Structure 1
Amino acid sequence: MARRILSVLPFGVMALVVVVDVTAGSGVGLLPLISLGPAFSGLVGGWRRTLAVGLLSLLLCTALGWYDGLLDSRREYTALASVAGVTAAGLLASVNRLRRERELASVRSIAEVAQRVLLRPVPRHAGHLTTAVAYTSAVAEARIGGDLYEVTPVPDGVRVIIGDVQGKGLEAVETAAVVLGAFREAAPEEALLTEVGARVERAMERELNGEKFVTALLVDISPEYGATFLNYGHPPPMWVPSHGEPVFPEPEEYALPLGLTAHGAEGPKPFHVDFGPGDQILLYTDGVTEARDADGTFYPLGERAGLLADADPERALAALRADLERHVDGPLHDDAATLLLRHRS
């Protein structure tokens, strides 16, 4: 809408000046304001459009000078010089704007490729689970954010990670790449989930030198033993049993985020839920639960668990995301990732 207004603004301004000049007469002295046409034209479109508007404004300025009897006057020459000067400035501004837009498009393209490589699509079916993911970055200009996730099938089940990196944009990519690379390597190799977490921690200490941290939730899910969680300062999962109310299982004591436990702090203790056929687990980042409405009320995720009842997990997450955007009445102010895990009967 704003771009459409800017597109017609140069012609509207010039038309207004013409109408006022013809109606009120030359004594008003609005003739130099014809130069506003090419001035506004440089805000949108290419240099050819700006040049065309500039030539049109010169013609209008000449026609009004003839109508007002000012063709050989200093006022007419001053107005024509103003139009020519503003047109030249508009052309330079248009060329520079187009160059910056091309550079920004290149950065966006690189960011999108980095995001796709970093956050690979989760498998729709992983072992005994059906999975779906939804992710919205708050950094619309870069289209890349600070949340991460991965679903890795292993011989005796599925291992999952979801996390929230300190910082956003391209600075968060390096941290997320270290965490996901270490998790993808350790998840199929380590027997214990705590060892997977320890390897991710060591990778962060080695690669990032303690400069970044990540809140994360690691999950080990098997058909026989349910779900085991390892929480590094991350929001609790939402477990939705097939028959019953949603539950937010939490550890007895929260641990520090990844990247901080290497400084002598004790790591997290695993905790367990009886995740069985027909159950669902929703993993999410704090961009979901900390989203506020106009009154400052946080998003009531537990009350919205019914939105996950759709048989298609992707449609279920889409419904949840749409409800979240209605809650905040607009775009989100923080990255928000949701990962839905369903135990297939």
Structure 2
Amino acid sequence: MRFRRWSMDRLFERPSGRGLVAVPLGLIVVITLVDLHSPTDVHLGPLLVIAPALTASIAGARLTALVGLLAVGAQVLIAVLHGGLTTSNHISQMIAITLLSALIVLFARARDRRSRELNRVRSVSEAAQRVLLRPPPRRVGPLRVAWLYVAAGDEAKIGGDLLAVARAAHPSTRAVIGDVRGKGLASIGEASVVLGAFREGAHRHALLPDLVAAMDDSVTRNLEEVADTEHDAGEHFVTALVLDIPDEGGHAEMVTCGHPPPLLVREHQVTELTTRNSAPPLGMGVLPDAPLRADRFAFTAGDYLVLYTDGVIEARSPTGAFYPLAERLASFPSLPGGGPDSLLHHIHRDLLAHADGQLNDDVALLVIERVPTRHLLRPLLDGHPMTDRAGAHPDGAPPSEAGERGI
């Protein structure tokens, strides 16, 4: 039984061919019967070559070869029953079907080999992309996190947008969301530089402005090495929003480097957190001589932060209108009781409806909720909750559908 299962799997190779293979087999039967009941001067045998040609489009080379043999056998049967197996007409038809079937099988083998190579390349590419943009933990300290990532490039999991969450030692949680100039696969190298600088610096620098300054220095030094400078040398930069959310104190800090401001959701009230100390985008090497200053704002239990890239607010409707994220957030009827997963699901669904399902730019969304102390499931250790590194939902629910699709 094991050998038989292996043989059939190798024959079909493409699961979609299991049911459709009845079509070419039926054609062989129909063409054979019609030819046998037609006058002797009517020759339908050459049409049998359609069967292996159809099989090649829905199944693998082995099944194509098998159907080709059946087509040749059907032509032999027609010749025998018509009493002319050795006639030049039937011999030429059998030779033609045999040669054409052999050519079709060769093309099918070449296609299958290329398909296997592409599948291997795709699997390696997806693994590399998952390593680069590691999914943020769903529970970190006193926070619950939900995220969405949609790349503009075909077959791509990531593009020019970036997001990450990391723990700091003091204790607090750091988060970054950013947008590389450009979009799609061409921006992956530049996004990797920013993510690497953030992950390295998040644990080293106690103050948020120091972290941002270190990120800018690293990005400025390394960006030109990975950027595509063939057409636009010297014009590479990354907008970014970097957050620091202490476990205690009911507040958070942010440094905005040319990035759209976050939205604070508190009891159905949506507030745009405009910055008073904006910095230029990362990688331009023009940070002000004066030390960077972080903006502090209240972020208490039950509050939500919505971080996003310009691919969200610049998504256009069929009439050309931009997506009004803040207005739409305030209009959601279930806001904010369902947790970050529910809020993210509402935004994603509403965004797709607004854009008629067509998102032409990379999209990244990060929703962060500060959980009330009574809802923390993890015990306190040295004064701060432990991070749930397994990524389990604090309410025991499975991971959000949006988060799983985003990466």
- TM bracket (short chain): 0.7 to 0.9
Q: 1:339 aligns with which of 357, 363, 366?
A: 366
Counterpart position of 1:135: 149
Q: 1:32 aligns with which of 46, 50, 66?
A: 46
Counterpart position of 2:207: 192
Counterpart position of 2:184: 168
Moved more, 12-21 or 140-149: 12-21
Identity of aligned residues (%): 37
Is 1:45 the equivalent of 2:59?
yes
Q: Aligned partners of 2:116, 2:87: CA distance in 1, in Å?
A: 44
Q: Aligned partners of 1:249, 1:26: CA distance in 2, in Å?
A: 86
Q: Aligned partners of 1:8, 1:288: CA distance in 2, in Å?
A: 47
Q: Aligned partners of 1:279, 1:146: CA distance in 2, in Å?
A: 29
Partner-residue secondary structure (3-state), 1:291: coil
Partner-residue secondary structure (3-state), 1:203: helix
Higher helix share: 1
Deviation at 1:197, TM superposition (A): 1.9
Q: Residue deviations 1:104-163, cap 9 Å, x none?
A: 222222223223322233233333322122223344524343332111222153221012
Letter in 2 for 1:61: Q
Alpha carbons 1:128, 1:157 under 8 Å: kept: no
Deviation at 1:184, TM superposition (A): 1.5
- Seen in structure 2, the aligned counterparts of structure 1 residues 38 and 81 have a Cα distance that, compared at 3 Å, is same
Is 1:179 the equivalent of 2:177?
no
Deviation at 1:51, TM superposition (A): 0.6
Counterpart position of 1:97: 111
Counterpart position of 1:226: 251
Q: 2:345 aligns with which of 295, 315, 318?
A: 318
Q: Aligned partners of 2:278, 2:65: CA distance in 1, in Å?
A: 64
Letter in 1 for 2:213: A
Counterpart position of 2:403: none
Q: Residue deviations 1:194-225, cap 9 Å, x none?
A: 32222122212222327343332212233436
Letter in 2 for 1:209: E
Moved more, 211-220 or 47-56: 211-220
Q: 2:300 aligns with which of 264, 276, 295?
A: 276
Q: Aligned partners of 1:51, 1:278: CA distance in 2, in Å?
A: 65
Letter in 1 for 2:308: Y
Alpha carbons 1:6, 1:40 under 8 Å: kept: no
Partner-residue secondary structure (3-state), 1:42: helix
Alpha carbons 1:21, 1:31 under 8 Å: kept: yes
Q: Aligned partners of 2:125, 2:159: CA distance in 1, in Å?
A: 10
Is 1:215 the equivalent of 2:239?
yes
- Seen in structure 2, the aligned counterparts of structure 1 residues 226 and 17 have a Cα distance that, compared at 3 Å, is farther
Alpha carbons 2:161, 2:183 under 8 Å: kept: no
- Seen in structure 2, the aligned counterparts of structure 1 residues 23 and 92 have a Cα distance that, compared at 3 Å, is same
Q: Aligned partners of 1:253, 1:49: CA distance in 2, in Å?
A: 67
Which ranges of structure 2 fall in alignment gaps of 5 or more residues?
A: 1-14, 228-235, 373-407
Deviation at 1:50, TM superposition (A): 0.8
Counterpart position of 2:97: 83
Q: Aligned partners of 1:298, 1:65: CA distance in 2, in Å?
A: 70
Partner-residue secondary structure (3-state), 1:209: helix
**TM-score (structure 1 length as normaliser):** 0.81
- Seen in structure 2, the aligned counterparts of structure 1 residues 315 and 78 have a Cα distance that, compared at 3 Å, is farther
Alpha carbons 1:281, 1:340 under 8 Å: kept: yes
Size of the alignment, in residue pairs?
340
Is 1:290 the equivalent of 2:326?
no
Deviation at 1:6, TM superposition (A): 6.6
Q: Aligned partners of 2:41, 2:308: CA distance in 1, in Å?
A: 67
Partner-residue secondary structure (3-state), 1:250: coil
Alpha carbons 2:183, 2:361 under 8 Å: kept: no
Moved more, 85-94 or 56-65: 56-65
Q: Aligned partners of 1:233, 1:17: CA distance in 2, in Å?
A: 69
Q: Residue deviations 1:18-37, cap 9 Å, x none?
A: 57757876766654232122
Q: Aligned partners of 2:366, 2:86: CA distance in 1, in Å?
A: 74
Q: 2:282 aligns with which of 258, 263, 277?
A: 258
Q: Aligned partners of 1:6, 1:299: CA distance in 2, in Å?
A: 44
Which structure ranks higher in relative contact order (CA pairs < 8 Å, sequence separation ≥ 6)?
2
- Seen in structure 2, the aligned counterparts of structure 1 residues 47 and 203 have a Cα distance that, compared at 3 Å, is same
Alpha carbons 2:277, 2:295 under 8 Å: kept: no
Deviation at 1:66, TM superposition (A): 5.2
Q: Aligned partners of 2:37, 2:271: CA distance in 1, in Å?
A: 73
Q: Aligned partners of 1:290, 1:68: CA distance in 2, in Å?
A: 71
Deviation at 1:102, TM superposition (A): 2.0
- Seen in structure 2, the aligned counterparts of structure 1 residues 231 and 66 have a Cα distance that, compared at 3 Å, is farther
Q: Aligned partners of 1:137, 1:239: CA distance in 2, in Å?
A: 25
Counterpart position of 1:235: 260
